[in-house]
Structure 1
């Protein structure tokens, strides 16, 4: 059996020596999971249950990822909110996606839930910040609360998202802002149709969001 040889994905600003001098506003100060004091509360609040190993470190619910360290704000589960905004119906149906400014792929306009914030509030805030679309007062359908196969996940820090479907009668004006380089409405009759349109435009669909988009399509087909 080959020895497990994971890659440390911790960026310079989150390494212990850097955290000793400065903690980024979006990150906790804990240098390792051993410095976290509220694991019982975090486990209770988790969208997806997780365990602690013999050291008291959180274990990714899916098991080994091939990556260690932390490239997210917190050790353990980092909660996100992903609003899937769909306009129209049938052959005319479209979905609102942003071009992420970090990896330049087409993605759902979501983001991290802030401390003390609820997932429903985060859904509305992230959508407004990234696309200027204000859906405050709309009541979305919660599609799921799941682990997202995010590129920043590691054995001890990962993303779990609340995904929700917003249905509009027609498209609305959207403007890219915050973490979005661009924002566009795309055809959304099927995932294959969406893939084809994005590929034809010389772009790529963010792989981690494919299951969430398919779940939205499945719900719309019911």
Structure 2
């Protein structure tokens, strides 16, 4: 993935101007395309295996198939560029491997006496791009299923292999990630793995570190992150909130 640590901020988009059906003639979004995805840098990123070779969406030839398989339906503009299903983002270009929907898989691993709040922990990794703590997930590879990607990403980033476990699917849909733009965005499958005990985890691949944090509620998680001198990757807060809601409803 791109090596830049921070995605440029887009222009502010008022809520009433987010829908694509609303006219905004002066709309000038910020291009967030990093050097690795420009025409000059793209060949190396394609060779590394994480980026598709299309310089613009016009170079993509399988849009009908992509649209049919999308987790969240999307449409196209008059130039056949894919449109973010949530509306305008204030950003254009792409800071992701593909144009249109990029499918991710996010395994949420929780351990402890799950019926007793004071002994619940969640496994997070420290991202190499932002330094923030996040769910040990990643992109679904071409031809790979989301369940397979959940297991692979967890194993690659933490060394924890849960291939024999059956998770609970908590969420499938759009993720409000800072890398999203008007024409490239992330949708994910988030799944909950429940373990009786904490297991050894070590940061690997593109994770700087892996650690277990208190997970009785969001306050306990925030305190644990503060003690570790870190912050949570904001896009994953709704997914972790969904996991806590699952335990509250149990």
Q: Give the TM-score of the pair, scaled to structure 2.
A: 0.85
Report the Cα offset of residue 3 of structure 1. 2.6
CA distance in 2, matches of 1:19, 1:100: 23
Report the Cα offset of residue 58 of structure 1. 0.5
What pairs with 1:42-191 in structure 2 (closer than 5 Å)? 42-88=66-112, 89=114, 90=116, 91-191=118-218
CA distance in 2, matches of 1:21, 1:174: 31
Which ranges of structure 1 fall in alignment gaps of 5 or more residues?
Answer: none
Instruction: Tell me which residue corresponds to 2:59.
Output: 35
Q: Kindly tell me the number of residue pairs found equivalent between the two proteins.
A: 222
CA distance in 2, matches of 1:37, 1:170: 47
Within the alignment, does 1:209 sit opposite 2:248 as a pair? no
Which ranges of structure 2 fall in alignment gaps of 5 or more residues?
Answer: 1-23
Q: Segments of 4+ in structure 1 off by > 3 A?
A: 17-24
Report the Cα offset of residue 5 of structure 1. 2.2
| Residues 101-137 of structure 1 deviation map (CA, whole Å, 9 limit, x = unaligned) | 1100010000000000000000000000000000001
Instruction: Tell me which residue corresponds to 1:14.
Output: 37
CA distance in 1, matches of 2:133, 2:45: 32
Greater mean deviation of Cα atoms: 18-27 or 1-10? 18-27
Report the Cα offset of residue 23 of structure 1. 3.3
Greater mean deviation of Cα atoms: 190-199 or 132-141? 190-199
Q: CA, structure 1 residues 5+218, in 2 after alignment: closer, same or farther (shift >3 Å)? A: same
Q: CA, structure 1 residues 140+65, in 2 after alignment: closer, same or farther (shift >3 Å)? A: same
Q: Kindly report the root-mean-square deviation, in angstroms, between the aligned alpha carbons of the 2 structures.
A: 1.5
CA distance in 2, matches of 1:2, 1:112: 34
Report the Cα offset of residue 20 of structure 1. 6.6
Q: CA, structure 1 residues 18+205, in 2 after alignment: closer, same or farther (shift >3 Å)? A: closer
